[in-house]
Structure 1
């Protein structure tokens, strides 16, 4: 009886410890584990943010169906940042004040750069699910700060640029023209692509910029064509990329069109129409029913959201995998304390077979980026959807991939 009472008391202490820590974070024994979700759910970047949020919602639905953690269910606190830098910064401050347990989201690099200081200062873990801005996870990486609270499950701009340069080399394209928007994402993409072109021995014949909201890029396209580039590389968000594709087609310029992963968004594919056919872009996830893991995710997505049409499949998959990793970290930490969750993310004990890849120690104290180059494919717009650009990639995608150092 004494041994039984001691065991019971020990178990009670563990649960009480969990509740006490959560009480300090605004979470009590009868409440939920609150996770902040921020992204653009409206506007030009809306399809990316909405798809990410749906991926997170799907993961939460699955987690809550099995009882959450110690009986506490998860609750999403959602905020639309509208791709606005000031609003994104305010949302970060609000999440800190509301004492959420962790945050997942961030689509636009500029919004991310304006937000991460608040999360870092408050020791509040942020898992970036969509933005590829390289500096987001590196600003507070050692030795810049003793602890880094910014993690990511999307590829970096550097990886995007490397994948594109590799594809250009594979196609024996030696000279290209570049168009990039004037946002921090476009700035970072243009810089990374220039560097990769130099390393790969690819000549950059022209380097043009455009603004978000521009509806006519005929002049930039004409100058790029005059530079005799063998391909056109464009970096930006879907609506402007669609303008470039239509202007290029109208000019009768038939060179390959490549660019940032956002070419896979529905607001590019639908707006570009036939002009977008054949566009190439890096992807972590391609909506293919041939994979058992992906098939399960896609069927679950259809069940919950009553549609097969995902506006940005890559964003949805990264949001889904990211939330499952965050759940595992909170469960392993057995705490709502940001420092313990950060430590758990840096040393996750359980492997997770996600939609994008198989995650085994995806993060470490010195590396907060889960995606490596071997996890990227080159997608191609075909008949109004994104498919693999090559049969080899499709076959390779059937093999489990792990993080490479």
Structure 2
């Protein structure tokens, strides 16, 4: 059914009989920049495969107006300067129609100006730093995102902690740019709940043990732990919490759901709680179909990062729809206008987007689209079992101006 929907879209928009790709047709080239090696490679490789699954499906049913989509892939190695170099290469030299990229907030932030200066579309399907879509006002920005920004993730976690009647929250945060920005968002979210961090401990990315830091936090009498860092170090946190026998709930951002977190912890992430936009769900046909296609291509168990893969897959399809809506204008300004004014909803893997973006909002995910996930029996799962069926009901994106007004009123 899902592939049939793709076929119908492409055939209807391209008006090609059977949607065949023309012999010798010039490809529509799409840049891809992800960390394919190094500590963030689980995110990067999952994102790359998610993009490839989408491109394969689209090309099987005719591509764009008989032209195949082609990915131009670069490895940023989670390094700021390497990411900047590849951004310049793809936009200036390769002249790709658009770029999908970045899993690390610091790498993304260093490269944003390249896309903005050249008015070239950038989809960010992984990096979650709040600043990524805040650096430029949406009205003039060429930066679009399909991941949940940290401002939403931190508030979601704090709301869950408050709901549980917990109030002494310990924060274990890395010292990277991602950790620094996350700490500010965490402190702001706690403040809105009339709370302050019970204790804060910082650490460097790359640590192999955090047992001493965990003992320090345990001694404070905190009743909840939020670890804010990337996948491997999230696993180190889980292993340390188990080692010191500190039985408070561990909360974390989406990085806690990466396969690297499970592997690094030796399975000690079981039961940990993390923010998710999508989880394996047998009740959702598009979800199951995507996972089957991904598994066939990637042969990973478990998937390195399901969220990275699904959000990138949806990014490719949102871009395709904008290409059709732009009526052949594949310039940055043409695609920007089309992305902000979609002609029809997109039924994706993460959600059904009635309007993913607008001239006032370049973040596709709103607060009501998040789920509380956990590791259960070596796989990611909904923490609340009833959410698995509740996810079959479409969660429409909240209107950003209305949500902001509501937030201001609450203050």
Same fold (TM over 0.5): yes
Gaps of 5+ in 1: 1-13, 16-28
Q: Quick check: 1:339 aligned with 2:320?
A: no
Moved segments of 4+, more than 4 Å:
none
For the residue of structure 1 that corresponds to 2:268, the secondary structure is helix
Residue in 2 that maps onto 1:22: none
Aligned mate of 2:177, from 159, 179, 184? 184
Determine whether 1:303 maps to 2:299. Answer: no
Question: Is 1:121 matched up with 2:117?
Answer: yes
**Structure-2 separation of matches of 1:324 and 1:290:** 22
**1:180-228 deviation per Cα after TM superposition (whole angstroms, max 9, x unaligned):** 1111211111111111111113341111111111112122212211211
Q: Which moves more between the two structures, 270-279 or 191-200?
A: 270-279
* TM-fit CA distance, 1:245: 1.3
User: Which residue of the partner structure matches residue 89 of structure 2?
Assistant: 94
Give the SS at the match of 1:204.
coil
Matched, 1:133 2:129: yes
> Using a 3 Å threshold, how does the CA distance of structure 1 residues 167 and 38 change in structure 2: closer, same or farther?
same
The C-alpha deviation readout for 1:80-104, integer Å capped at 9, x for no partner, is 0000001011111111221110000
Q: Structure 2 CA distance, aligned partners of 1:340 and 1:154? A: 23
Whole-angstrom distance in 2 between the partners of 1:61 and 1:30: 16
Change in Cα spacing, 1:219 to 1:309, as seen in structure 2 (3 Å) is closer
Q: 1:242-282: per-residue Cα shift (whole Å, max 9, x none)?
A: 11111111111111111111110001012212421111000
Where 2:197 maps in the other structure, the secondary structure is strand
* Alignment equivalent of 1:45, drawn from 40, 43, 68: 40
Instruction: Let me know the Cα RMSD of the aligned residues.
Output: 1.6
Aligned residues of 1:173 and 1:202 also touching (Cα < 8 A): no
How big is the shift at 1:56? 0.6
Q: 2:356 aligns with which of 362, 377, 381?
A: 362
In the TM superposition, 1:2-401 aligns within 5 A as: 30-97=25-92, 98-141=94-137, 147-307=140-300, 309-333=302-326, 334-401=328-395
Contact conserved, 2:353 with 2:397, CA < 8 A, in 1?
yes
Mean alpha-carbon deviation: is it higher for 46-55 or for 299-308?
Answer: 299-308
- Shift, 1:35, TM fit: 0.2
C-alpha contact 1:269 1:385 (8 A) present in aligned 2: no
Structure 1 residue matching 2:199: 3-state secondary structure: strand
The Cα offsets for residues 143-188 of structure 1, whole Å up to 9 and x where unpaired, read as: xxx5210000000000100110111012111111001111121111
Measure, in 2, the Cα distance between the counterparts of 1:154 and 1:79: 20
| CA–CA separation in structure 2 for the residues paired with 1:299 and 1:309 | 12
SS of the equivalent of 1:90 reads: helix
- Mapped to 2, the partners of 1:401 and 1:352 lie a distance apart of 13
- 2:121 and 2:134 map into 1 onto residues whose CA distance is 14
Structure number with larger C-alpha Rg: 1
Give the conservation status (yes or no) of the 8 Å contact 1:273–1:384: no
Q: Secondary structure at 1:365's aligned position in 2? A: coil
Question: What stretches of structure 2 of length at least 5 have no aligned partner?
Answer: 1-13, 16-23, 400-411
- In 2, are the aligned partners of 1:270 and 1:384 still within 8 Å (CA)? no
- Cα separation, 2, equivalents of 1:305 and 1:386: 18
1:120 & 1:282 partners in 2: Cα distance? 30
Aligned in 2, Cα 1:308/1:222: closer, same or farther, shift over 3 Å?
closer
CA distance in 2, matches of 1:401, 1:58: 24
